[in-house]
Amino acid sequence: MTALERLERVVGRWFGVSRVRVHPLFVALLVAAYFVGMLKQALLLFMFVFLHECGHAVVAKRLGYEIEEVSLLPFGGVAQLSYVRLGFSPKSEAMVAIAGPAVNLLCALLALVLYTAGVIDGRIYGEIIGLNGWIAVFNLLPGLPLDGGRIYRAVRSREKGYEPATEEAYRMSIALSAVLMFAGVAALFAGRPHIGMVVLGLFLFVTAWRGRRDLRLETMRFLDAKRRDVGSTMLRTRALAVSAAIPIRDVVVRFSPDRYHIVYILHEDGTVASLVEEPELLDAVFEGRWLEPIASLRL
């Protein structure tokens, strides 16, 4: 077992999850920090990232979710929640997402108290404020997989549906990555190189690209959890009106969490021909009929 694997196992026990992955970027940062004499600052960063993820983990477990994997990165972490048992809840996702930056805010407030009491000096106080502020602000940017992206999706998914809201958050992440990389290159030409911006931009771009590539699979998991959750709680209804020729797939990808959907099938003149309820549509999807027109359910 390598030293990194031992570290991941120890941190996994702390989080209470089966898999914790320390991203290679973090390892590279620690090694580089050692050689340039900034190991203490890098270890402080690791500690605050760890506390950031503890915030996510504690709230997720309190809400009843299982954490499949936690990845620790230089700017924060990514906690993969399992929605198999409880399904996707916008309110719960937003609460879990905001918990990480909230922990960083608490760390900054604690540093202020200690500095005011004379327990720590101004240099350490400045480092703690800077690190926690940077972690919190960056993670609140509205792009997946950042916390801000999860909050954005939680808000938008009720109006637009799970898949369109997720797609929007990934597109915003790609736009943010372009801004970061441009700023990093501009800083280089200005004589103030900031390789960190370029690295973060590349990370966001690659992560968003992979997320968009796997989005349909993620949507299927959401729909599967939704299918098993129907009837287990009281839900508000959400009505959709569609033409008879639209594929079942194009309807269900617009399903919202925490809603029970009633879909009205329209004649060409706009009058209602019939209606289909959510369970029938979800069953059709998992029977392999999702490319069929929705009218086929009423033939």
Q: What's the pLDDT tens digit per position in 240-265?
A: 999 999 999 999 999 999 899 999 99
Stated pTM of the model: 0.85
Query: Which of 229, 246, 273 is at the close of a domain?
Result: 229
The CA distance from 254 to 249, in Å, is: 9
Token pair, residue 126, equals: 């400045």
Q: Verify that 208 and 119 share a domain, yes or no.
A: no
Q: What is the pLDDT of residue 200?
A: 84
Q: How many CA atoms lie within 13 A of 124 on its CB side?
A: 14
The CA distance from 256 to 90, in Å, is: 9
Ranges of the chain with pLDDT below 70: 1-19, 74-77, 79, 81-87, 193, 230-232, 299
Query: 56 in a domain, yes or no?
Result: yes
Q: Verify that 292 and 168 share a domain, yes or no.
A: no
Radius of gyration of the CA atoms of the chain, in A: 23
Q: What is the percentage of the chain residues whose pLDDT exceeds 90?
A: 53
The amino acid sitting at 70 is V
Total domain count for the chain?
A: 3
Q: Verify that 189 and 284 share a domain, yes or no.
A: no
Query: Which of 140, 175, 200 is at the close of a domain?
Result: 140
Query: Which of 113, 140, 167 is at the close of a domain?
Result: 140
At 115-167, the pLDDT tens digits run: 999 999 999 999 999 999 999 999 999 999 899 999 999 999 988 999 999 99
Residue 78, beta-bridge partner list: 71
Query: 101 in a domain, yes or no?
Result: yes
The CA distance from 209 to 52, in Å, is: 25
End-to-end CA distance of the chain: 60
Q: Which domain holds residue 33?
A: 1-140
Q: Verify that 89 and 213 share a domain, yes or no.
A: no
Structure-token match 């959750």, residue found: 229
Q: Verify that 214 and 238 share a domain, yes or no.
A: no
Query: 153 in a domain, yes or no?
Result: no
Q: Verify that 131 and 53 share a domain, yes or no.
A: yes
